[in-house]
Amino acid sequence: MNNQTSILIIYTGGTIGMIKDQDTGVLKPFNFENIFNQIPDLKEFKYDLEFYCFEPLVDSSNMNPNLWKKITNVIGNKYEDHDGFVILHGSDTMAFTASALSFMLENLNKPVILTGSQLPLGFLRTDGRDNLITAIEIAAAKEDETPIVPEVCIYFENELIRGNRAVKYNAENFNAFVSGNYPVLADVGVYIKFKKEKIRKLNFKKLKVNDSLDTNVGLLKLFPGITESFLKSVVNSPDIKALVLETFGSGNATSEKWFLESLAEAIDNGLIVLNVSQCISGSVDQGKYETSIELEKIGVISGRDISTEAAITKLMYLLGKGISNKEIKALLNKSLRGEISI
């Protein structure tokens, strides 16, 4: 019997898997069958590493819920065969994917670690080599034969972040992600220092893959000068069922009569409106200021300290369950996967 720790590496696409064509200088995907030639250090691992590559590969700007479904089904089908999973993904939409997977993979008891890079593996100074090696090590990490990190996370540049708390905030630095409202789950230097009290606990239940998502969700970022006609074009969009409203500071919005009346009418007609702060760090506190009291009165739901990425994917997940708006609103105020602070 093979007692080796087994890790499945799923390559969806993105910068990390690119190398430069020596003849043309153009970046192209490299064949992961040759990964041990590209990163010889992987041979030092005493793990059984297997690879699953998307065909065709996907630029993360083209990531979508159908591809999230594909990822979750690969994990679901391979779940009993592996001790952990590493997903190589472009960084631009990685926080959306990590958030979505956290909701779609219910009762997760194994690590699912997303990583990528700002520079391709084929570059001399690439951050991808260390990111991949460390992500594998974290996915394989156990204590008393149980996984240390049984949740969906992002590992990037020396920090392990809960997936549904991550926000990409930098397009140039290697430390591309931040967790503004929750502590990092591990700091990586000479040693990997896990903050075990911050990591979700094993639940010992059977994995359930929730792959029904409803994408009739909108996003509206408020700005000074927003017009009534623009607001109405959003809240009256055909088929829209839920709207993430990115407000100022701790959940504040204009108190113009037309703004509140348009939102109130949409809510009365069944639209779910979730209030999320535009700030990377901090929480919505409806009622703290006069400009948010009215939002509370008309039925806008406080998103507390949830990120925009988690808010959108949580709504897709909840709408996909086919439950009532009343049930959805109740669940929006609950932490399902550690996405909000209660």
Structure tokens at 335: 């932490």
Nearest C-alpha neighbor of 51 from the set 65, 30, 69: 30
Contact 250, 284 (CB under 8 A): yes
Q: What's the CA gap between 323 and 312, in Å, rounded?
A: 17
Separation CA 51–CA 78 (nearest Å): 11
Q: Which one of the listed residues 15, 134, 254, 313 is annotated catalytic?
A: 15
Residues 6+ apart with CB under 8 A from 142: 5, 83, 148
Which residues does 107 contact at the CB level (< 8 Å), separation at least 6?
203, 205, 206, 207, 208
- Please confirm, yes or no, whether 15 is among the known catalytic residues: yes
Catalytic residue numbers read 15
